[in-house]
Chains A and B, each alone.
Chain A
């Protein structure tokens, strides 16, 4: 079985399972969990652009989620339509991402992490303390979901399919980005920024555009989050959200397409399903992370692929590994 064929087979099976999920899952509770996994996966894929491909760990993306979510939520509260709300969310998240990017990209590494962390905390502080605007701890309620082309999104099935479509667009756009010359430029700035500059690349601008791209998909994920919960509060802007999304990426496998998706699935499932049985579900999540990092430091998806390869090669008959030189000596 060639790797390409295996990949195609995997894609076909995954698409089939995702498209038929409401049928074989059945219960609305679990369909909703699937929706959650998909929009958290979009957020994880968005942050993976920075963490995985640009080598920049941001702990401020919760601030970007909040900027998009609050912009849409508050404009709906003041009586605007869904289209205007979405446009405002887009403008808010892109401006915030630009400001975050300009400030944080003065450094890389730990400096970048700390500045994004501080910026995220500022957004959280505004959401929490500026109660006359944001309604503080009580949050903002969104009464209706949009009805694109007259289709109602109130049922779990309908919302799941909307999320799935957006998710698939996100995955395809990431796949194209990764293979593109610009994607190669971004990875180059991660591995050898100095060399990239000497080769004629504008390292700062490449990172800034990557930040905006990440911000855009964070905004998209945030809109799905908002419409799924029909509610937004300062809780989403908190550091824990940023850290959780980064952990999804690291646990699943940075700089891979599938890693953030599986990472999101683990976190959402543990949060929603395990927490129904065990009060201290955070402990379980922590243990899972420790086990992943201990046995697969590269992350769950690349780690599984590696273990599978090792197992596959161990099963191959030895004659296939051994070749014979002209003089009759076997070589490895």
Chain B
């Protein structure tokens, strides 16, 4: 059984082929890194996998279940969570409310118009747990507008982790972070248990390489190289495409 299987996936915007016949097969518990230069179609691939975009052809399977036609919101209920490269948070709310909204998304309670959300202790405790995991427990009640960029990156991860996903898609979780912050986020990602399968897009090769077992290199929407860390690094096509040699 594969955790995530992408088969012959294609997507064009007008005449531009952004995803060209992409195949991807991620084992349960695997850490997969997707690299590629700007415009390689990495984020588009994520948007196709999460259902924010509809593919022109091809199929996507989550634990052997065909989800090609499933709506984006259903994929969240099936155990898929993602973070965004461009931080996408609820800026008028507190940190803990952001994470509570992530938990609420998978709870029947989200339709309830009668109870007071602030008194839903169980949900809020779980939100605090997720924030403690990413090291933000002490500032849980801070307004999001008063947090630093690095803290927001961690709120993104906390929201995804809070949903207890089977497959976690991280879109450049280190983007814009300082060296210290990067190390913290890396520790945090290494601590995620193996029952979560992780696919990560990363522009910055050195951070990403340490993390992943297998690496997929995308270029102009196509998979150019795929293999173990050593294989991909050694491959001359990687140097040609990615390192610009």
Contact = CB atoms under 8 A, between A and B. Distances in A.
B82 A198 contact: yes
A107 interface: no
A200 B88 contact: no
A45 to B, nearest CB: 15
Interface in B56-104: 72-74, 76-77, 81-82, 84, 88-92, 97, 100-102, 104
B116 A179 contact: yes
A185 B50 CA distance: 20
Contacts, number: 86
B118 A179 contact: yes
B159 interface: yes
A188 B101 contact: yes
B113 interface: yes
Contacts of B82: 198
B28 interface: no
A188 B114 CA distance: 17
Interface residues of A, number: 24
Interface in A175-190: 176-177, 179-185, 187-188
A205 to B, nearest CB: 9
Contacts of A203: 73
Interface in B101-117: 101-102, 104-107, 109-117
Nearest to B103: A199
Nearest to B111: A182
Contact of B91 (A180, A181, A182, A191): A191
A180 B73 contact: no
Interface string B101-144: 11011110111111111101000000000000000000000000
B52 interface: yes
A182 B110 contact: yes
A202 interface: yes
Given A195-B89, A200-B105, A181 B112 contact: yes
Contacts of B100: 184
Interface of B: 50, 52, 72-74, 76-77, 81-82, 84, 88-92, 97, 100-102, 104-107, 109-118, 120, 159, 163
Given A181-B110, A181-B113, 5 more contacts: A180-B112, A182-B112, A194-B88, A195-B88, A196-B101
15 contacts: A179-B116, A180-B112, A180-B116, A181-B110, A181-B120, A183-B113, A187-B92, A192-B88, A192-B89, A194-B88, A195-B88, A198-B50, A198-B72, A199-B105, A201-B110
